Structure 1
Amino acid sequence: MAPPPGAGKRVKGVQITRPFIYGTTARPFDEKTNPKPAGVPDDHTHSWTVFVKGVDDTDITYWLRRVQFKLHESIPNHVRVVEAEPGKPFEVHETGWGEFEITLKLYYVSESSEKPQTLYQFLRLHPYGRTEEEKEAMRLQQSGEVISWVYEEQIFNEPYEPFYEILTSGALPPPNAPKGKGKAQFEQRRTEGGVLERSALIPLHNRPGQPFSRETEQLEVKKLKEATAKVQKMAAEMAEQLRKKEERLRELKAEAGVGTA
């Protein structure tokens, strides 16, 4: 397939990754902490937001130009399109009473010449988890907010030359990029070919409102390793039990003379 006009050639053998977050945040209406605005229907119980943004609120509009949010058809103007504004997340604010699946369609900057990507996110209005303890922990940690966030990494395989330049030419962070320890930063580094590359980093540690970090990643890796070890131990125990049962079965058969001449 020929590249789109003006797209140039693809940069062979190159893969560039950009992290981002998408999801929903909901809060129940409360007279003190979250009063219901005038004009909101009586049966609406929560205010909520669906969004796409950078990790630690870093700017992602240099590669993402538009997000289409398709809400439940019962909501007026249920298809919302949010255009890029540097330094701001792509988000829609609404109120309601029910949970449903939201379709998110990501449109990249025109220089990418890439097709839009579709994601799906379920709106959560109520605490969820495997146990009541997990639900309560979520409720306490988020001060009544119910978050349903997904960490994602956008992978651009062999991007077209103009888009590659956008992704790699900006060695310095944009003016609104956060600075300081623990913040997501842009770094300068040389690739093997000597090209200066811009890369969004993930924070080293968690902080309030920002649950995704290298610390979180390491905790998840630890959980996976512990779960793997537990499964392997269980499998070994079951194999040993099976071996003993088969051995006992052979003994019983021998005692009963089954299988002997």
Structure 2
Amino acid sequence: MNKFKTIIVALLVISCASDDRETIIINNTNLLSEDLENRSIELNSVIACAASDSQNSNVVEIYFYSEEGASNFKLYETNSVTVDSGNFSNYRFVDLETSPFFNGFLDRFIRSSASEQWIIVTYELDGEIKISQPIRTKNVSQPTTYSNNVAINQDITTMPIFNWDINSDVDNAIFFQVMSTLDNGVLSGTYTLENQFQYYNTSNVVLNITEQIPPALTSGIPYKFTVMDVSSDNWVNAIFTLDFIAE
């Protein structure tokens, strides 16, 4: 799929199974600032966000887009949220493997922590290190909430309209919607500033990461709609998921 360098707050989140969780190894001597020395870098060029797991708020999932050809995915974190998030000397390397999410539509890291940190994701592409904006985890003070409280209007055949509540106008910056099959095959990925989306009407879409013209829904077939309420510091406040049968 085409990947975007434009930094926005975005997220797709589904709770992870316990088998996906790894033991975290933190290399205290390997700082982000040192890894960037004498390297060509591009700031704010990795779209990334994070959310707490639906069953265990001490588990945080970090989601990011990787451009085609990207490699050497890395995760860095600070000791606390009180440090300067813009100072790369405050970030230590966390040795974790990535895993595909939404059938590879996104990549993700999964980490366990009972505290909150700032997090940065990096990867390499064409000899350059791409760096995300800092992500402020809030798994202790504001765990991600999960709900299926999404209203659906199917008056227009195979073009359902979805509406959902905004938990807080102060915390919200953008919404990310994914229409998919029940087995997480992505049909469309869109961003709106409004708490409404119609498949497939892009009149209120501010960013569209759909690969191709999405297929029309088929009446009588089940689908899944997922929407993320994301804050300006890239924490996912809420996840709404609705399974429905197209009419």
Which category of TM-score, normalised to the shorter sequence, fits these structures? 0.3 to 0.5
More strand by share: 2
Normalized against structure 2, the TM-score is what? 0.34
